[in-house]
Structure 1
């Protein structure tokens, strides 16, 4: 399920990005840009049982989104009974009285849809997006778990999800650098008993001690219709939708009345300073948090602006002091987190390696002094507001985004139409407001501070810090818990109709691929475009072939540094001036390196596309080569590389690539480079790379949005005229699968709470005729939540938060990979399960599984063209592999024509578990020895660079 953090950040993004303009016509009929109110049309009503219903029609795509938000997050829990809201989110995906075990995901995928849920401190939400013909089915599913679920919550089902949630905690918290930070902050910011005193994921001991009776009581209190908001958005008819909602939800009985929670803001009597030696961190990190105010208050809006002004961009005082002047860090971060009950203002600084956090603390207060002296300008306020319009349109570009927004406004503001007031509140923020909230909440006020430092680096903590009582799980032998199930028939809750009958779906929407256009510029740039007029924005990308392929193995990382330096000013604009120009347009421009290309991506309002493209011309054709910024970029990159060495997932990815591609292939080297290679790179290396390898002859421009072909090409005239073509030769690196045995490789991460598993070998390129058929073949093995490996390792065993298999490939052969992060004491068994499942899959699948695969893949095409981002991806795939505009039709025919015999033949051709590399990154002391007895052709211990080490060098 979705983590509370990702969902919360989505909610913050939706709430923050609401400063909008609309156009109106003057007396001559011409459009003028004037500020106007904007609202999303909706109808709200209430069922007799208390369920709030919000309907929003959007017929731009043949899909519907259903979101149900319950007024229950971790804020409704009690000390000693934490994690219940999140645990119950998981339980609601298991089974209900009329929907079988694990059928929620399978039925939605079978209909071509997707679903998930999320829990955060203030709420829980469940959602589905499906083709419109499946609307009644998702109402049946959602209503069944709202009103007809609790009788199915058995000991075994509950125990399984306890295990899954504990693995989620291990993956997100225990096995991550700085993972325990929020626990320490909240425990010390909020007093015992305050609803924000604990984490959404809960305490491990509480999760382990929870009982079925606890869960039943929690469900009865908080998961009734009178504590929920249902939002339906998309392509439907109002009267038909209302009738379905009444049929499926109207008969569900009210439950206990839930009293609204009132704000519980807190104050600190004194500053609290704590430290923790972090098992995974390679650099020290300082967090400072001040208590503020709840959401939707005038001060909350001003605090959002304050965070942006003091930390974001080259003008920010934190950046000037900590990055430019003192070289203490390469990045500064601050944000205000105003929630339903209380608010927090955060500053988070991950220091450069071996920098002392007491110096970082002193630097933060120097930055405050600078801020007090320089103040806030009208231009600061203007540039922040400028970006919010674009963010708003991005947030409502999908029916799901609108569903979330309407639901959250209804729950927290009591009105789905609160958007207009929210916008006005943002527009009212002044520079005086920003200074006022700084003086009220931050200046000379007590705070909570944490110093997280690498193991053995106590000298780096801030002064006067005390040890935080972080509890870390001990690695123990896996002991399977046996739960005896009473074979009792599930008692069915009475209903006005037979809920065991799944609604028929009718005919699925026909494939309708948006019309695209192409063009070629005189200097060789190929152009692909799609006009989509749903929101007044444009998304675009310029793809320059080469990227990491053009790196010299002896100076690896030049391409990556190139994309960073190109965004640091132009000949006529300083880095600060370029940054402000982009922000004042409400645009975003990013440049990054992939294995095979350098990409410039942009997002802007249609009315500002011309000015945005002028900046693209400057960035591309007039680089500044700023020596001071280059030094900062190198420091930042080296810091990132060092930190990645402590992240088990990054270690696994790097070693896996080295094992499969071999030292002679550039893909065995990380795109970012190594510490040594980056240190050796000079700015002249970047200039040489630019001179030799940037050319329109190997470039393709993609544009999607509210812009036609004529206007798009008109705004490319500058690049066409000014950018001359040159010949660029991209190196070829032959690669093939030459593995002839099953090899087990183990990388030691002492005391790791999970093991990262990557299994596979070189497979085939995206351009191979078998590539897409192989993807179809893989779907039931591990290409979806309902894949065999996930159903066993997560749903049956409870060993992991997720397991998957996939084929990757471009013009260069990619890999077949099976992967997961599993509880440490299940490592050996999990590897064996992967191996067995890959082997068994070659025996063929059932007719039912093949039908499921076909339905899931074909019907999901209804969701494939909804947003500009989706369409941009389609254009990039077309151009990268020279595919026809209707290539998705060809993919559909491959799916529909797949037979059991073809499926089996593909599995036998591309899956051979006896010749794969089996990589495990985890705790060698407890997990390595067992693999010598598991029948592998060879078993090797490797270091984090993928080099073999002797067993005596590892503490066992």
Structure 2
């Protein structure tokens, strides 16, 4: 599902407002008609240059040059999604996306994924929505010809590799994806119920892109081939290349590799099919995974690029953005029914919908929530909005716009969308001005047309046995649950190497192109300073976009909490943005948003983390607010009770999340009972009830300390200006005596063991396999991480993915990693598998891990070296990436040229070194196996692992 389509998410109003009035813009009887004319006064300072040409076979090609980093993004987008499917054949577009990654005639097994790993790419990725299927990746620019060769092979030389075993195994992967995203999640069926009731049965949007499991099960190879022939002709596809490359050379490569592919059938545009509800439809469902009730409401809206869509972008923020917005304020502040809401503006090619999701507190009757939404909408009508409100919303959209345009792959996907849907990639420049032109009259017209007193579809998802919490007039939702025989352990045949006849071509496509000229990766010009209060500052200047990204970390969190007040650090973090000494929560929120900035404070296990993003022109004002937030909390008692209520709700929700359960149990098993890291960051309902406002004040006074903090700043602000902006903060934030204590070591694990947490009738088992390992500041940490690349850190290059997903179809996702900080470390393997292959999956994982240290090969080493040596070209592309580099330097005390140093480390590693690292830091005989699933059918089977009796956790 294309939630907040990318083309809309990355375009926004660029404008200048001066002398804004604070008078309210009252609702009027509006007769103004919408227009798609670009206003004459529009003069956006932003412009995406592009070149477009079309091959004889109909393939549209778009080039966008961006020389800021030595990387290039390649996007192949087909104008086919779930809307092109037929009843009884749903889910094909998404299934096809999966298949297209697997193999082609000349790429071989692993396809784009393996190639991307070898060339240092970001990992090939894809997405399927109602209208478009995207395939995208970012690689160092020396690999561009390889990517063009590979994309052409996938488009024109792929279908012969789809055999019945290949299809059957990928069906299982897709089914596992649906279980992971839908069946095994709280509220997982909401979108399906909404869609089925919002759109008529004959509407192309009546089903979701994941489709029906029954339809997938019945899909044949011939079905897949027919789908390919119908929709994957080059005349229904757009290729976008964006980044640092030579357009003349790239055009020659595109013509060489794509010209042979024959044109496909002609594809006619689908007519718009907006929907009109004559009355509201209300449904309820008792959700086995839900712990608290959730109300979702959906109104029909407009398709993408409709003239009203730009005013709708502004309207939804005026209604819900921030606790002062009328709907949010009514739900959160006044009636205290929920900690917040999510408003999803889902616009697709043929129609659209506006979806509001509100997760209520425990025991709240959803009739109250529905009434609160009605009151909030009425308040919007009577209270209206001011020019300041409009400014706040539009400047926020401007910031979001720049942030999303900071990567070449985002620009590539947007250009492809515009070309496929409008035949005009240049619309990326026009849409900005249409958004800028939104007026108060437009907003009131859109409100009256789509929301005011309009019928909607709603769902009440309530915990099992709590039907009384659903909206009174709701009828039972029709939900078709997948039936899995949990005792059926039938296995799929392993896919054997293919013997295929190759499609004719004018040249030998089996020869992979050579690398181009190796890009030069300069050492970042990192500036540092240690201020007199102990705060360390790291900065990296970049003016590619007029933004600044800020991250401040303060060591401590769980490590500095009082043992009986678990959750204190998280509540401190929560309270820091709920007002300052001179500003209420609403006033603080307003000031932040008026700047177009975002400031969040969260507690991680070992740090409290402040993140901020701002327009460069508003950096000083944003940093001044950060100083207030850190040093002058308001400690408002009403906000404190709201914060505690919010955390309690989060605890209740997470208590039914299989992955959260597994992680929580791992901490309890790994660390001694009174070790701080045995605890949950959120605390427990019991500990939260004991925490007072004075506890927060004490923690803040002692432990929110500059000598425990590091500040990372990347963007269009100079280091000297950063230091100047901190002068007041230095005076207001003196050092304390706080230090992070030395921690006891984790529990000594003498042997592996299996633990089971029961969720009856679970369709999937969540697997978490782990043991303590080396910390992030250990001299071998980087080498150990590189060693893990082939085991489970390298996506489709890894053995876990190849064996457990690609060969067996047991899972949608599996990975291993060293999850480490300077204070703690864990080697972890995570996955979700179909319930009735829980044992088989664990046996396979166990075997792979046990054999890894003895079976590492020279080919594995080559793949790993290629990835690490070449991927550095992507390390600095976005401001977020730059902040991550700064954080690595600051946290681990690395030199500015640490990437070059690590390249030298990688170059020195041999096969025997990798084998030694595997044996030294991965201990199969000490792994904790945690399974969250259906104990009745699966727990006893796990004794076959040979690790003793299965220990029940609940």
CA distance in 1, matches of 2:492, 2:517: 45
Contact 1:225 1:254 in 2 (8 A): yes
| 4+ residue segments displaced more than 4 Å | 481-489
Q: Deviations over 1:205-262 (max 9, x none)?
A: 0010111111111111111110111110111111101100111112211101111112
Q: Aligned pair 1:14/2:9, yes or no?
A: yes
Q: Aligned pair 1:328/2:337, yes or no?
A: yes
What SS does the corresponding residue of 1:215 show, helix, strand or coil?
Answer: helix
Q: Aligned pair 1:689/2:689, yes or no?
A: no
Corresponding residue for 1:861?
872
Contact 1:564 1:633 in 2 (8 A): yes
Q: Aligned pair 1:764/2:764, yes or no?
A: no
CA distance in 2, matches of 1:13, 1:266: 21
Residues 106-125 of structure 1 aligned to structure 2 (within 5 Å): 106-113=114-121, 114-125=123-134
CA distance in 1, matches of 2:790, 2:529: 39
Residues 209-228 of structure 1 aligned to structure 2 (within 5 Å): 209-228=218-237
CA distance in 2, matches of 1:190, 1:565: 42
What SS does the corresponding residue of 2:859 show, helix, strand or coil?
Answer: helix
CA distance in 1, matches of 2:784, 2:297: 50
What SS does the corresponding residue of 1:436 show, helix, strand or coil?
Answer: helix
What SS does the corresponding residue of 2:830 show, helix, strand or coil?
Answer: strand
Moved more, 98-107 or 602-611: 98-107
Residue among 556, 561, 571 paired with 2:566: 556
Q: Aligned pair 1:719/2:729, yes or no?
A: yes
Moved more, 930-939 or 782-791: 930-939
Q: Deviations over 1:369-408 (max 9, x none)?
A: 2222112322221111011221111111111121112111
Contact 2:44 2:433 in 1 (8 A): no
Q: Aligned pair 1:131/2:126, yes or no?
A: no
More RCO (CA 8 Å, sep 6+): 2
Corresponding residue for 1:676?
686
Q: Deviations over 1:691-739 (max 9, x none)?
A: 1112222222211111222212111111123322221122221214610
Contact 1:801 1:822 in 2 (8 A): yes
Instruction: Measure how far apart 1:285 and its partner are.
Output: 0.8
CA distance in 1, matches of 2:858, 2:435: 56
Distance of aligned partners of 1:248 and 1:458 in 2 relative to their CA distance in 1, 3 Å threshold: same
Residues 310-349 of structure 1 aligned to structure 2 (within 5 Å): 310-349=319-358
Residue among 141, 156, 160 paired with 1:151: 160
Instruction: Measure how far apart 1:421 and its partner are.
Output: 2.2
Structure 2 unaligned spans of 5+:
18-41
Q: Aligned pair 1:85/2:93, yes or no?
A: yes
Instruction: Measure how far apart 1:836 and its partner are.
Output: 0.8
Contact 1:337 1:343 in 2 (8 A): yes
Residue among 786, 796, 808 paired with 2:819: 808
Instruction: Measure how far apart 1:89 and its partner are.
Output: 0.2
Residue among 655, 659, 664 paired with 2:674: 664
Contact 1:513 1:865 in 2 (8 A): no
Distance of aligned partners of 1:485 and 1:599 in 2 relative to their CA distance in 1, 3 Å threshold: closer
Residues 49-64 of structure 1 aligned to structure 2 (within 5 Å): 49-64=57-72
Contact 2:113 2:124 in 1 (8 A): yes
CA distance in 2, matches of 1:820, 1:873: 26
CA distance in 2, matches of 1:218, 1:446: 37
Contact 1:21 1:37 in 2 (8 A): no
Q: Deviations over 1:750-778 (max 9, x none)?
A: 11111111112111111111211111111
Corresponding residue for 2:944?
933
Contact 1:21 1:35 in 2 (8 A): no
CA distance in 1, matches of 2:15, 2:259: 37
Corresponding residue for 1:799?
810
CA distance in 2, matches of 1:178, 1:71: 30
CA distance in 1, matches of 2:488, 2:702: 57
Q: Aligned pair 1:177/2:186, yes or no?
A: yes
RMSD, aligned CA:
1.8
Contact 1:18 1:391 in 2 (8 A): no
CA distance in 1, matches of 2:603, 2:496: 57
Kindly tell me the number of residue pairs found equivalent between the two proteins.
928
Q: Aligned pair 1:575/2:585, yes or no?
A: yes
CA distance in 1, matches of 2:752, 2:554: 38
Instruction: Measure how far apart 1:890 and its partner are.
Output: 2.2
Moved more, 905-914 or 167-176: 905-914
Distance of aligned partners of 1:203 and 1:935 in 2 relative to their CA distance in 1, 3 Å threshold: same
Q: Deviations over 1:162-213 (max 9, x none)?
A: 1100000000000000000011011010001211100100101001011111
Residues 310-709 of structure 1 aligned to structure 2 (within 5 Å): 310-476=319-485, 477-480=487-490, 489-709=499-719
Instruction: Measure how far apart 1:480 and its partner are.
Output: 3.4
Contact 2:10 2:402 in 1 (8 A): no
Contact 2:753 2:928 in 1 (8 A): yes
Corresponding residue for 2:757?
747
CA distance in 2, matches of 1:684, 1:639: 22
Corresponding residue for 1:907?
918
CA distance in 1, matches of 2:127, 2:849: 31
Corresponding residue for 2:55?
47
Instruction: Measure how far apart 1:35 and its partner are.
Output: 5.9
Q: Deviations over 1:847-867 (max 9, x none)?
A: 111111111111111111111
What SS does the corresponding residue of 1:388 show, helix, strand or coil?
Answer: helix
Q: Deviations over 1:118-147 (max 9, x none)?
A: 101111000121111110111111001111
What SS does the corresponding residue of 1:298 show, helix, strand or coil?
Answer: coil
Distance of aligned partners of 1:569 and 1:482 in 2 relative to their CA distance in 1, 3 Å threshold: closer
Instruction: Measure how far apart 1:513 and its partner are.
Output: 2.5
Corresponding residue for 2:277?
268
CA distance in 2, matches of 1:392, 1:264: 29
CA distance in 1, matches of 2:817, 2:215: 36
What SS does the corresponding residue of 1:331 show, helix, strand or coil?
Answer: strand
Contact 1:523 1:696 in 2 (8 A): yes
Contact 2:4 2:346 in 1 (8 A): no
Contact 1:582 1:588 in 2 (8 A): yes
Contact 2:5 2:346 in 1 (8 A): no
Contact 2:13 2:433 in 1 (8 A): no
Corresponding residue for 1:28?
none
Contact 2:792 2:800 in 1 (8 A): yes
CA distance in 2, matches of 1:461, 1:77: 34
Contact 1:69 1:229 in 2 (8 A): yes
CA distance in 1, matches of 2:169, 2:833: 14
Corresponding residue for 1:26?
none
Distance of aligned partners of 1:486 and 1:169 in 2 relative to their CA distance in 1, 3 Å threshold: closer
Distance of aligned partners of 1:358 and 1:796 in 2 relative to their CA distance in 1, 3 Å threshold: same
Moved more, 804-813 or 160-169: 804-813
Distance of aligned partners of 1:741 and 1:937 in 2 relative to their CA distance in 1, 3 Å threshold: farther
Instruction: Measure how far apart 1:427 and its partner are.
Output: 1.3
Instruction: Measure how far apart 1:523 and its partner are.
Output: 1.9
Moved more, 11-20 or 323-332: 11-20
Q: Deviations over 1:650-709 (max 9, x none)?
A: 101111111112322111111111111112111111111111112222222211111222
What SS does the corresponding residue of 2:385 show, helix, strand or coil?
Answer: coil
Instruction: Measure how far apart 1:784 and its partner are.
Output: 1.3
Q: Name the TM-score, length of structure 1 as normaliser.
A: 0.95
Q: Deviations over 1:874-925 (max 9, x none)?
A: 1112111222222222221221111111111111112221221111011111
Instruction: Measure how far apart 1:481 and its partner are.
Output: 5.8
Contact 1:557 1:674 in 2 (8 A): yes
Distance of aligned partners of 1:490 and 1:606 in 2 relative to their CA distance in 1, 3 Å threshold: same
CA distance in 2, matches of 1:596, 1:77: 48
Distance of aligned partners of 1:735 and 1:251 in 2 relative to their CA distance in 1, 3 Å threshold: same
Q: Deviations over 1:469-499 (max 9, x none)?
A: 1011223133536669999842322211111
What SS does the corresponding residue of 1:592 show, helix, strand or coil?
Answer: strand
What SS does the corresponding residue of 2:275 show, helix, strand or coil?
Answer: coil
CA distance in 2, matches of 1:487, 1:94: 12
CA distance in 2, matches of 1:599, 1:292: 38
Corresponding residue for 2:25?
none
